[in-house]
Structure 1
Amino acid sequence: MALSADRNTPFEDGELVSAPVAASTKCYAGGIAVANANGYAAPGSTATGLTYLGRFEETVDNSSGQNGGKVIQIRRKKAFKWKNSGTDAVTQASLGKTCYIVDDETVAATNGTNTRSAAGIVVGIDSDGVWVQ
């Protein structure tokens, strides 16, 4: 039913979110955070079906746990500086384009012949890394 009066709608800024961690997984603070195909937080890796979330804010060890056995804080909505791939480097020509996840600290210019998931949009390239939003 449509509103017929004011509504006090709860909100969050969505910058710092909690996510359940995938089974048999250890996430390190400062690493690339993704959601796996089942929606559980995991470290970035060369794989398809991952959704880039941002950066892990803490280390959580769910190595011996089941899906959702632990929860982790993830920072979103920021540009983070990740390592640039040595073999598939992001260059100035990638500015404003999508880059791709190699591991939990590295991004690359291409999807590696459809083996990598998208990380986000390149917003800057420095000599020591790639800024991804």
Structure 2
Amino acid sequence: MALSADRNTPLKDGKEIPVPMAAGAKVYGGGIVVANATGYAAPGSTATTLTYLGRAEEQVDNTDGADGDKTVRVGRLKAFKFENSDADPVTQASLGKPCYIVDDQTVAATDGTSTRSAAGIVVGVESDGVWVE
């Protein structure tokens, strides 16, 4: 039903969110965090079923747990500097375009012939890494 009066809509800033972890997953602080196909947090890896979430704000080890047993804090809505792939490097020509997840600290310029999930948008390329928003 549409509003007929003001509504006090709850607000969350979304800059840091808690995400339930996947069974058997371990993330390291500063690493790329993704949502797997079932929506649980896992470290970035080469796969096509992942959704980029952001950067792990802490190390969390759920290797002995089930889905959702532990939660990781994920930083979002900012640009993070990740490693650039040696084999498929992001270049200045990628500015404003998506880059792709290789592992939990590395991004690449292409989807690796449909083997990698998209990370964020490239907002800077430096000699020591790629800024991903």
TM-score, normalised by the number of residues in structure 2:
0.98
**Distance (whole Å) between structure 1 residues aligned to residue 60 and residue 98 of structure 2:** 28
Unaligned runs of 5+ in 1: none
Unaligned runs of 5+ in 2: none
Aligned residue in 2 for 1:95:
95
Q: How does 1:77-92 map to 2 (within 5 A)?
A: 77-92=77-92
Alignment partner of 1:61 is 2:61: yes
Aligned to 2:54, what secondary structure does the other structure show? strand
Give, in angstroms, the shift of residue 6 of structure 1.
Answer: 1.4
Alignment partner of 1:11 is 2:45: no
Alignment partner of 1:39 is 2:39: yes
Amino acid at match of 1:45: S
**Distance (whole Å) between structure 1 residues aligned to residue 63 and residue 120 of structure 2:** 27
RMSD: 0.6
| TM superposition outliers: structure 1 runs of 4+ over 4 Å | none
Identity %: 70
Aligned residues: 133
Alignment partner of 1:130 is 2:92: no
**Distance (whole Å) between structure 2 residues aligned to residue 91 and residue 127 of structure 1:** 10
TM-score, normalised by the number of residues in structure 1:
0.98
Aligned residue in 2 for 1:52:
52
